[in-house]
Amino acid sequence: MYEGVIGSLIERLGKLPGIGPKSAQRIAFWILEAEKQDIDDLANSIVEAKQKIRFCNVCFNVSEEDLCRICRDPRRDLKIICAVEESKDVIAIERTREFKGRYHVLGGAISPIDGVGPDDLRIKELLKRLADGVVVEVIVATDPNLEGEATATYLTRLLLPMGVSVSRLASGLPVGGDLEYADEVTLGRAFEGRRRIQ
């Protein structure tokens, strides 16, 4: 066990997501051996990010300003919203370059067993965005697991009566894989979501 400054550094690093005690110790010693400038830059980046980054007023994506880069962009289609669980998901979908609308970051998925209900997510804020009738489609892009599915079920039930069309990302087979290795749930979903070839 390490005491004092190094001990508290290891303890703090160990609280980072995905970092166990062993990794925390490795990172702590890497920090001790690294160039002072590199560590100052790292520390400053952390402080700066925490000070400057907040949530977009419209979509709740992380942003340095009141409106995020995507909500500020006049080329984005105002008629379509893609609802995702986390800001990380915005980045993943942006990488596809497939989606030209705007986002809505819900802040997680409904998970009763963890005590997380609909009121703990930014669902009311999503409904507010639909009030003026500009948005005609909502794509529900929650995670393809049960909480994500159930959250999509809940959202769909709220959204359909508002007159918007609602779609869900297709679940299917990973590109580059062999069919025989697919699990039965994924393969079943892929059958449900099959498309007709024109």
Residue 133 interacts, among another protein, Zn ion, none and using kind-specific CB cut-offs from 5 to 8 Å, with none
Q: How far apart are CA 123 and CA 64, in angstroms?
A: 23
Among 4, 18, 74, 161, the residue binding another protein under the rule CB under 8 A is 18
Which residues share a beta bridge with 54?
Answer: 63
Distances (CA, A) of 190 to 83, 90, 153, 177: 21, 23, 18, 13
Q: Which of 10, 24, 28, 58 binds Zn ion (CB under 5 A)?
A: 58
Burial of 180 (0-12, 13-18, 19+ CB in 10 A): exposed
141 binds another protein (CB under 8 A): no
Q: Which residues pair with 133 in a beta bridge?
A: none
Cα(175)–Cα(179) distance, rounded to whole angstroms? Answer: 10
C-alpha 130/C-alpha 24 separation (Å) is 45
Contact partner at residue 141 from Zn ion, another protein, none, CB < 5 to 8 Å by partner kind: none
Which of another protein, Zn ion, none is residue 115 near (CB under 5 to 8 Å by kind)?
another protein
Applying the rule CB under 8 A, the residues between 58 and 117 that interact with another protein are: 110-115, 117
- Taking every pair of Cα atoms in the chain, the longest distance, rounded to a whole number of angstroms, is 69
CB nearer to another protein: pick between 145 and 165: 145
Which of another protein, Zn ion, none does 49 bind, CB closer than 5 to 8 A by kind? Answer: none
Work out whether 84 is an interface residue with Zn ion (CB under 5 A).
no
> How many other C-beta atoms are found inside a 10 Å radius of the C-beta of residue 152?
22
Phi, psi of 106 (to 5 degrees): -75, -25
For position 40 contacting another protein by CB under 8 A, the verdict is no
Q: Which two tokens stand for residue 186?
A: 């994924």
Query: Reduced to 3 states, what is the DSSP secondary structure of residue 62?
Result: strand
Residue 130 binds: one of another protein, Zn ion, none (C-beta under 5 to 8 A by kind)? none
Say whether residue 161 binds another protein (CB under 8 A): no
Selected binder of Zn ion within 9, 28, 71, 83 (CB under 5 A): 71
Report, in Å, the least distance between residue 148 CB and another protein: 9
Q: What are the residues binding Zn ion (CB under 5 A)?
A: 56, 58-59, 61, 68, 71
Q: What are the residues binding another protein (CB under 8 A)?
A: 18, 20, 110-115, 117, 144-146, 149-150, 153-154, 157, 174, 177, 181-186, 188-189
